[in-house]
Amino acid sequence: MLEALVGVLPPGRIGLRLSPFSNVNDVADSDPMATFGYAIERASDFGLAYLHLVEGQTSGSRDLPPGADLKALRARFKGAYMANNGYDRDLALRAVEAGVADLVAFGKAFISNPDLVERLRRDAALNELDQDTLYGGGAKGYTDYPTLRTVEAA
């Protein structure tokens, strides 16, 4: 897969996202440290932009199963590491400051905050997420959350 991708895109424009410990949709690995450790090490040779791991259950608990070791997985990748799952501003800042992550990806907070970057920069309050519109299939909940400017002007 990566071989095919680097045939058409520069490796520095490709990121790899893996969910080693998540069993969402009943997808699980019996030995994730071995399977994903090997995959990450192989991927490391491609010079990708980043490795991105979902830490825990996708969009759920950050708890890891016994034997899971994110640091050990990350250590098998030579490039940048992007962390994800359940991060807020403080946790993200602490992870980057501690060198545990180079970048942090936000999911739900980005859906409910079109100007998330600006809000995080200013340490401003975030819009509350409406869980009911997450998988609705329509525009509602994806195009109508207010920006900070709209909130402040109101």
Ligand X SMILES: Cc1cc2nc3c(=O)[nH]c(=O)nc-3n(C[C@H](O)[C@H](O)[C@H](O)COP(=O)(O)O)c2cc1C
Residues 51, 82: contact at Cβ < 8 Å?
yes
What are 38's two structure tokens? 């090997």
Q: Which is nearer to ligand X, 7 or 137 (CB)?
A: 137
Per CB under 6 A, the segment of 1-9, 29-37, 100-108, 112-120 that binds ligand X is: 100-108
Residues 22, 56: contact at Cβ < 8 Å?
yes
Q: Is 135 in the site for ligand X (CB under 6 A)?
A: yes
Residues 116, 123: contact at Cβ < 8 Å?
no
User: Binding mask 37-56 vs ligand X (x if CB under 6 A, - otherwise)?
Assistant: -----------------x--
CB of 154 to ligand X, least distance (A): 26
Q: Is 134 in the site for ligand X (CB under 6 A)?
A: yes
Which residue type, as a one-letter code, is found at position 134? L
Report which of 20, 23, 27, 30 is spatially closest to residue 52, judged by C-alpha positions. Answer: 20
Class of residue 154 by CB neighbours under 10 A (exposed 0-12, middle 13-18, buried 19+): exposed
Maximum Cα–Cα distance across the chain = 53
Q: Which is nearer to ligand X, 70 or 78 (CB)?
A: 70
Q: Which of 23, 44, 58, 133 binds ligand X (CB under 6 A)?
A: 58
Q: Which is nearer to ligand X, 78 or 100 (CB)?
A: 100
- Kindly determine how many residues on this chain lie close enough to bind ligand X according to the rule CB under 6 A: 14
List residues binding ligand X (CB under 6 A): 19, 54, 58-59, 84-87, 106-109, 134-135
